Amino acid sequence: MKKQLLTLLFSACLINAYAEDGSRLWLRADTTAQATVTANRQSPVIAVAVKELQTQWRGAPVQLLIAGTKAAQTLGSDGYTIAGNPQTGVTLTAAAEQGLLYGAYHLLRLQETGALAGNINITEKPGYERRILNHWDNLDRSIERGYAGRSLWEWEKLPDTLSPRYREYARANASIGINGSVLNNVNANPQILSGEYLAKVKAIADVFRPYGIKVYLSVNFASPKTLGGLPDADPLNREVIQWWKNKVKEIYALIPDFGGFLVKANSEGQSGPQDYGRTHADGANMLADALKPYKGIVMWRAFVYSPTSEDRAKQAYQEFVPLDGQFRDNVIIQIKNGPVDFQPREPFSPLFGALQHTQEMIEFQITQEYLGFSNHLVYLAPLFKETLDSDTYAGGQGATVAKITNGALRPAKVTAIAGVANTGDSVNWCGHHFAQANWYAFGRLAWNSELSAEQIAEEWLKMTFTADENFVRPAADLMLASREACVNYMMPLGLHHIFSFNAHYGPQPWGYFPGGRMDWMPVYYHKADSAGVGFDRSKTGSNAVSQYFQPLGDLYGDIDRCPENLLLWFHHAAWTHKMKSGNSLWDELCYRYDSGVRQARDLQKAWDRLERHIDAERFDQVQAKLQIQAKDAVWWKDACLLYFQTFSKMPIPYEIERPVHRLDDLYKVWFRQEDVLNNNYCIK
């Protein structure tokens, strides 16, 4: 009896050790293999590649080769070739150690997704040179717009104590080709550049290095003044210039492969060169000159706007186009995918392509600030693809955002892409099991923007849950439908930024607070009145359409030809405006919101049908989140339709589900971000 009890306890420990809690992400492959792997060079990076293959590869021997051939050199430091047959032997060739690492992970991905069949002949190189996660993590371990617990970086324990999660994080990123990490918030605390914190940053960089990941830091432009004690931070002040040169030298003495700086300047209260009558180019170039000897770069954010009478969506273009060609060649302008702020749907930013003599990079948001936090299942690859595949018409047809930014059309010394991270110290990393897919999708598209959202979803599902096609196909369909469902129940037809003012969660289209900035108020963006709804950005309005190349300017500016999914972004349309469906705008808005509710419920139904295919722990956790999402969808529908009905004075079509909330009650809903994360907010 005692022996049986011990056996049961041992078995329970094993089950617990491999509990499907999401902590292993998409790296759940069995690691008991004993593959034969050889390499013609040795280094910490190659050692990682060898170990990954030795413990997971279930095929014939693998040979890793650093080659100096012309063919290998054309693939750059990260590219690789894989040739051979899983049954007889495979050779992985690259010009540099990073290429072997990425090739090893790709070979294992092919194995785990069942994509290996017969002879292999693969050549790959990344579309972007620098593929970076931006962490909005603060030194107190809070995360701005973070929905998965506290920061991964245990600053209070560094540099002496290293969390095992640092290596796990680096491994996960390397497996999808991410090669850079900005460790701290763009609203940067100057203390990150102090000697105390640079020692902590060095400790993290040392863990990341064998996985091919460089660290970057967000810097506060006022650091020479607030940290260095100088009277100002004027970028043309010789003392300021020297302070930055000394600080950069200090950083590279500790971290020889440091990547560079990310800067948010003169935006939302952050200090910048305009404080001293200087330009963004003056500020960026001063930092670039300090980094240049070490091959570091400056990523200067284009997210700048001020409380003026001008349309917020136009301001980044107005700030940066006059400076085109004035930036150093190690400066790259980091541009959000849309012209406002990571909305569920936006047109692409008109800055893409407009800066014809300045390097541009795209910034996506992986964390779901405006997409239901970690409560809603919203697969973002379709959103990422929508932007990357958009044709800017800069110089003619075919100039997609991807080709503008990855160097395919305009040679660039630096190409880069960034995603605002959604990781935290929660067990499953992202707060929602399916939010992991957005981290994965960003990495895969940063490597190859031509991959389809469907292909990426299927890869992730097979590695994260099971390769059983009875699960993968319907689960992929669920993921692919989720983004459009979210748009429909939140902000269809081009509506935008009508969230709760304080938390950016839940509807608050009536939001207006006397004394606050108008461009932070929902009413600023929808402009509903008795005549209609929407922001007029046509020639008769703010004329934001003029910032787009033709034929897009005319297309967006014509209310009868504008894509209906962007109609209210570009036009203040009458409630009676006739839509392509034959419905009035009001009826179409009602039907879209109702469709979003039904789609959210369909996500629930689709998931419930998959219960028998996966572990109970993750099934139950996702199911609970989908219940919240379906409830929230009804909240969105009722709040928006009841509120906009006070302007349209038109009835909600009878075939649509009746509202279950009263508008007066919804006006009273008020909560904080932490209330949402703890599920303590109440909708009467």
Is a pLDDT exceeding 90 seen at residue 9?
no
- Given this model, what pLDDT does residue 18 score? 52
Residue where a domain terminates, one of 124, 140, 174: 124
What whole-number distance in Å separates Cα of residue 130 and Cα of residue 256?
17
Residue 144 falls within a domain, yes or no?
yes
* Domain membership flag for residue 8: no
241 and 349 inside one domain:
yes
pLDDT at residue 297 in the model: 98
From 533, 557, 528, select the one nearest 544 (Cα to Cα).
Answer: 557
Average pLDDT, integer, range 621-625: 98
> Of all residues in the chain, what percent carry a pLDDT higher than 70?
97
Q: Share the mean pLDDT of the chain.
A: 95
Taking only the tens place, the pLDDT of each residue in 633-661 is 999 999 999 999 999 999 999 999 999 99
Q: Are residues 195 and 63 in the same domain?
A: no
In this structure, the answer to whether residues 151 and 286 fall within a common structural domain is yes
Distance CA 312, CA 314 (A): 5
Q: How far apart are CA 294 and CA 137, in angstroms?
A: 26
Q: Are residues 275 and 145 in the same domain?
A: yes
> Which of 106, 124, 142 corresponds to the end of one domain?
124
Identify each DSSP E strand in 520-598 by its residue range: 532-533, 573-574
Chain mean position to CA 273: 28
Q: How many residues does the chain have?
A: 684
- Looking at residue 684, its pLDDT comes to 58
Q: What percent of the chain has pLDDT over 90?
A: 91
The pLDDT of residue 16: 41
Q: How far apart, in Å, are the Cα atoms of 116 and each of 58, 82, 440, 554, 612?
A: 11, 12, 21, 48, 27
Q: Are residues 517 and 401 in the same domain?
A: no
CATH number for the domain that contains residue 655:
3.90.1330.10
178 located within any domain: yes
Residue 458, in any domain of the structure: no
Q: Which residues are catalytic?
A: 268, 341, 369
Mean pLDDT in residue range 501-508 = 92
- Does residue 405 carry a pLDDT above 70? yes
- Look at the chain and report how many structural domains it folds into: 3
- Confirm whether 546 is domain-assigned: no
Q: Is the per-residue pLDDT at 13 higher than 60?
A: no
Query: Which pLDDT score is estimated for 501?
Result: 84
> How high is the pLDDT of residue 55?
98
Is pLDDT of 307 > 60? yes
Q: Is the pLDDT of residue 673 over 90?
A: no
Helix 469-490 and helix 585-608, axial crossing angle in degrees, nearest 10: 150
For residues 145 and 27, membership in a common domain is answered with no
Question: Is residue 474 situated within a structural domain?
Answer: no
Give 525-568 pLDDT, tens digit per residue: 999 999 999 999 999 999 999 999 999 999 999 999 999 999 99
The strand pairing partners of 578, in sequence order, are 584
Residue 464 lies in a domain: no
Residue 449 · residue 402 · CB < 8 Å: yes
Query: Rounded to whole angstroms, how far apart are CA atoms 52 and 103?
Result: 11
Last residue of a domain, one of 124, 148, 174: 124
| Burial state string for 103-115 with b = 16 or more CB within 10 A and e = fewer than 16 | bbbbbbbbbbbee
Q: Please, what is the Cα angle at 526 between 520 and 530, to 5 degrees?
A: 135
pLDDT tens digit sequence for 598-609: 999 999 999 999
- Examine the domain organization and report whether 445 and 511 are in the same domain: no
Supply 508's token pair: 């608050």
135 and 118, same domain (yes or no):
no
* CATH number, domain containing residue 146: 3.20.20.80
Task: Please return the burial class of 547, using the count of CB atoms within 10 Å of its CB with bins 0-12, 13-18 and 19+.
Answer: buried
Residue 516's pLDDT is what? 78
List the domain range (segments joined by +) for residue 134: 130-451
pLDDT digits (tens, 9 = 90+) for 130-174: 999 999 999 999 999 999 999 999 999 999 999 999 999 999 999
* pLDDT single digits (tens) 341-370: 999 999 999 999 999 999 999 999 999 999
Q: How sure is the predictor about 680, in pLDDT bands with cuts at 50, 70 and 90?
A: confident
Is 60 exceeded by the pLDDT of residue 17? no
- Sorting pLDDT into bands at 50, 70 and 90, what band is 328? very high
**What CATH number should be reported for the domain holding residue 47?**
3.30.379.10
- Within-domain flag for 346: yes
d(CA 560, CA 566): 12
DSSP codes of every residue in 353-396: TT-TTS-EEEEEE-S-TTTTTTTS----HHHHHHHHT-B--TTS
The answer to whether residues 52 and 136 belong to one domain is no
Beta bridge partners of 124: 80
- The pLDDT, as a whole number, for residue 46 is 98
| Residues 530 and 405 both lie in one domain | no
Does 231 lie in the same domain as 169?
A: yes
* pLDDT tens column, 269-300: 999 999 999 999 999 999 999 999 999 999 99
Within this chain, do residues 400 and 293 fall inside the same structural domain, yes or no? yes
